[in-house]
Chains A and B, each alone.
Chain A
Amino acid sequence: GAVVSQHPSWVICKSGTSVKIECRSLDFQATTMFWYRQFPKQSLMLMATSNEGSKATYEQGVEKDKFLINHASLTLSTLTVTSAHPEDSSFYICSAPGTSGGGEQFFGPGTRLTVL
């Protein structure tokens, strides 16, 4: 159980375009999901907490108008990188809390974004 999928696994786009990344909980419902970004050789940086049926909570310094998050259902959250630029190239990972309530997280496989 506790499987999280992400799509696409990698994407290459031109500067100025928008990219949507989907995160799905496959065998459980997730009212909350987390979105992280990870640059090479660096740790996870929490970008935002996605909440089903309400607005996402963004971490300090993360532009909410640039990184649009929608949590449309109990199994799907999407992150849209708008007007992407080369500095947005990174590894984007979503996660969902486990159902035990203990705080463990189950991560999706990640999406590697390259902006040319």
Chain B
Amino acid sequence: QKEVEQNSGPLSVPEGAIASLNCTYSDRGSQSFFWYRQYSGKSPELIMFIYSNGDKEDGRFTAQLNKASQYVSLLIRDSQPSDSATYLCAVNTNAGKSTFGDGTTLTVKP
């Protein structure tokens, strides 16, 4: 079992829809959870982080964390073609060191 698992996709949604990206992790001691976006040929960029159970909203993005279920998700509302990218879930189990999932590729169709 991988430490951080994501649906590989590809996930395709129409423009304006909600995209839902999911991630599960194996280490119950995990403290910090991150979502990064990576465009093709580029390096990852941080879009959201969450530390506590519940929802955290930032613009069109909402991160959701459920530590009991070891589950973290990212919702993208009003999806735009520019959101088309690979989304990486990362979990910190040791201070400063992240374990990344394999990523979910999202395509938003105009």
Contacts and interface: CB of A to CB of B under 8 A. Distances in A.
B43 A103 contact: no
B32 A43 contact: no
B92 A103 contact: yes
A103 B103 contact: no
Contact of A49 (B42, B97, B101, B103): B97
Range of interface residues on chain B? 20 to 34
Contacts, number: 47
Contacts of A110: 42-43
B44 A44 contact: yes
Closest A-B pairs by Cβ, 7 of them: A103-B92, A103-B32, A107-B43, A110-B43, A43-B102, A93-B43, A44-B100
Interface of B: 31-32, 34, 36, 42-46, 49, 51, 88, 90, 92, 95-98, 100-103
